[in-house]
Amino acid sequence: MSFVELFLLAVGLSMDAFSVSICKGLGMRTVNWRVAIVLALAFGGFQAGMPVIGWAVGSQFMWLIEPVDHWIAFGLLAFIGGNMIREALTEEEEVQETPDTIDWAELLMLAVATSIDALTVGIAFASLSVNIWLSVALIGITTFVFSIAGVLIGNQFGMRYQKPAQIAGGVILILIGTKVLLEHLGILVL
């Protein structure tokens, strides 16, 4: 995967955290930078850590999945992307008042929930020629930045950008999965 593809993957993965960050920003009367930074660190940290776990597990079973690795990468990315699009199109808008304090249990649950897709991407990384450390750093930093931006956008503009961002993230993941499949099948040569 090229750097541009990894960056687009990082953007796609960060869309769940971006959406949640928008919701958190909606409930803030003014931006609480402490809450925004802690939220971004949690989301970025989990988004960076989960692919490492997936990659480590996937690497152990590479001999078993190598003959179909391109189908697995395509399937996982298409499933994650499709699920993101489906969730964006079926979610009902719900605005909740968010306090300007940190609920650590809620933050942990949100960080895990928004990074589960990164775990499956890590499994796909085991079958691709990917520098895992560059990839997870890029995913973590991108998610951190998008989370801060989400809080700011949520605070300023509200729910207007949540669904388009989630749909764009899903489309990006599906397109990357399709490219991986087409390259391995010899249909697309770049």
Give me the residue spans of the domains in the chain. Answer: 3-91+100-184
**pLDDT tens digit at each of 190 positions of the chain:** 789 989 999 998 898 888 888 877 876 778 889 999 999 999 999 999 999 999 998 888 767 766 776 787 688 778 877 877 887 788 665 544 445 667 788 888 888 878 878 888 898 888 787 899 999 999 999 999 999 999 998 888 755 666 787 787 678 778 877 877 887 788 877 6
Assess contact for 42 and 108: CB atoms under 8 A: yes
> Helix 104-125 vs helix 3-26: angle between axes, to the nearest 10 degrees?
160
Angle at 117 between CA 78 and CA 167, to 5 degrees: 55
Encoded tokens for 31: 């931006």
| Burial status of residue 130 (CB atoms within 10 A of its CB: 0-12, 13-18, 19 or more) | buried
